[in-house]
Amino acid sequence: MAFKSKEMAKAYWRENVRLMFVLSIIWFIVSFGCGILFVDTLNQFRIGGFKVGFWFAQQGSIYVFVVLTFVYASKMGKLDRKYGVDDES
């Protein structure tokens, strides 16, 4: 184990799980929320030629997905360095 102590390992994992939790909430809201469950409500509004719900279902959710994966990768990189477990060998 590369951690200095068991507590460090636990803290690292806890931060990781919290980050995953927050990002998956966003993941759920933009796709299942805006794109499916609340699509009719959002469709009352428009951006240009798009109804908003329709836009989320066919465009918006995908853009958010891309951002989410990069946010995860960069935040985890920071977390690895903070706990000294990044793999720079």
Partner 1 sequence: MELQTLTYIVVGFTFAIYIGIAIWARAGSTKEFYVAGGGVHPIANGMATAADWMSAASFISMAGLIAYMGYGGSVFLMGWTGGFVLLAMFLAPYLRKYGKFTVPEFIGDRFYSNTARMVAVVCLIIISVTYVIGQMKGVGVAFSRFLEVSYEVGLLVGMTIVFIYAVVGGMKGITYTQIAQYCVLILAYTIPAVFISLNLTGNPIPQLGMGSTISGTDVYLLDRLDQVVTEIGFSDYTNHVRGSTLNMFMYTLSLMIGTAGLPHVIIRFFTVPKVKDARTSAGWALIFIALLYTTAPAVAAMARLNLHNTINQPGSAESLEYAERPQWFKNWEKTGLLAFEDKNGDGYIQYTPDATSNEMVTLDRDIIVLANPEIAKLPNWVIALVAAGGLAAALSTAAGLLLAIASAISHDLLKGVMMPDISEKAELLASRIAMAGAIGVAGYLGFNPPDFAAGTVALAFGLAASSIFPVLMMGIFNRRISKEGAIAGMVAGIGVTLFYVFQHKGIMFVASTAFLGDMKENWFFGIEPNAFGAVGAVVNFAVAFAVSAVTKAPPQDVQDLVEFIRVPVGVEAAQDH
By CB under 8 A, residue 45 contacts partner 1: no
How many C-beta neighbours within 10 Å does residue 52 have? Answer: 18
Least separation, in Å, of the C-beta of 68 and partner 1? 5
Binding partner 1 by CB under 8 A: which of 14, 18, 20, 25? 20
* Cα 87 to Cα 89: distance, rounded to the nearest angstrom: 6
By CB under 8 A, residue 77 contacts partner 1: yes
The residues binding partner 1 (CB under 8 A) are 1-3, 9, 12-13, 16, 20, 23-24, 27, 31-32, 35-37, 39, 43, 47-51, 54-55, 57-59, 61-63, 65-66, 68-70, 72-73, 76-77, 80, 85-87, 89
